[in-house]
Amino acid sequence: MTAIYRRELRSYFQGMTAYVFIAFLLVFAGIYTMVYNLDAGYPNFEYVLQAMTIIFLIAIPILTMRVIAEERRQKTDQLLYALPLGMTRVVLGKYLAMLTVVAIPCVIMGLYPLLLSNFGSVFLPTAYGTLAGFFLLSAALAAIGLFISSLTENQAVAAGLCFGVMLLLYFMSDLSSMVPDSTGASLAALLVTVLVVAGLVRIFTRSTPAALVVAIAGEVALFVAYLLVPDSFSNLFSNLVDGLSVFERFYAFADGVFDLTASLYFLSVIAVALFLAVQSMEKRRWS
């Protein structure tokens, strides 16, 4: 795993990917710091980090588009499959290299609150708590991007899919607010969601029976639950979406609360995304 990590990290800095990603985040960090902290005079560095979350819509696809897709395009993934290593170690090595690149701008931005404190009163615990949440958010999004990259051998396709997923995650709560609070609307939205999940299962596994099992089981479970406790479906869809939104989870940190539940959620997203990436590579290894 160490060899994979070093190889991957070296490839980031031998090309332009790491430099573009780091520069992209730091440029916007500087712009938002100037706007919020210097020009407007707010002593809250967390405002900068909260505003910067939209940057991930572009930054994460840039960072993750080549991590596995390029290996598949160049057929060098065959060398990975031939190594006496499980795909778990390969994926972890690649992810840790990516996480190192993500950590560099976060460490540099850690100097900003100290510099700003020379010009006014900055509440450092909130600033650094938000920075920790910012790093966890970026780590979770990077894991999702890595999984998406494992699904294709085309960097452009991987970048496009990752951008679409990031866009959906960013506006997830806004979209869910368009669904009425009534029990019937929540049920309908959940039924559609189950069908979408079944479609994704069909695309990722290429197994129609598995997709049908997910669709039928999900639809039946929802109808049974609706018949037994219909009142519990009031506003259920919006609450579920808000609870699953990675960006909404981060905003608790920006509000000055170091949310342990949100931290565990980010770690769970990372674990699930990496597990799916391992399964994707294992499937290709034995196909």
Q: pTM value?
A: 0.86
Is residue 202 scored above 90 in pLDDT?
no
Please compute the mean of the pLDDT values over residues 62-91 and round it to a whole number: 70
Task: Delimit the domains of the chain by residue range.
Answer: 2-174+242-286, 182-234
Q: How confident is the model at residue 130 (pLDDT cuts 50, 70, 90)?
A: very high
Q: What is the pLDDT of residue 133?
A: 93
Distance of CA 197 to the CA centre of its chain: 18
pLDDT at 68: 73
Sorting pLDDT into bands at 50, 70 and 90, what band is 73?
Answer: low
Mean pLDDT computed over every residue of the chain: 83
User: With 90 as the cut, is the pLDDT of residue 241 above it?
Assistant: no
pLDDT value at residue 99: 93
Question: 2-16, 18-32, 195-209, 240-254: which has the minimum mean pLDDT?
Answer: 195-209
pLDDT at 96: 93
Q: Give Cα separations from 145 to 58, 238, 273 (angstroms).
A: 11, 25, 9
Q: What is the C-alpha to C-alpha distance for residues 239 and 241, in angstroms, rounded to an integer?
A: 6
Q: How far is CA 124 from CA 44, 48, 75, 173, 235, in A?
A: 9, 14, 48, 29, 37
Which of 103-112, 129-138, 208-217, 264-273 has the least mean pLDDT? 208-217
More confidently predicted of 102 and 204: 102
pLDDT at 219 over 70: yes
Three-state secondary structure string covering 193-248? HHHHHHHHHHHHHCCHHHHHHHHHHHHHHHHHHHHHCHHHHCCHHHHHHHHHCHHH
pLDDT value for 105: 94
- Report whether pLDDT(141) > 90: yes
Nearby residues of 281 by Cβ (< 8 Å), 6 or more positions away: 68, 77, 80, 87, 90, 91, 150
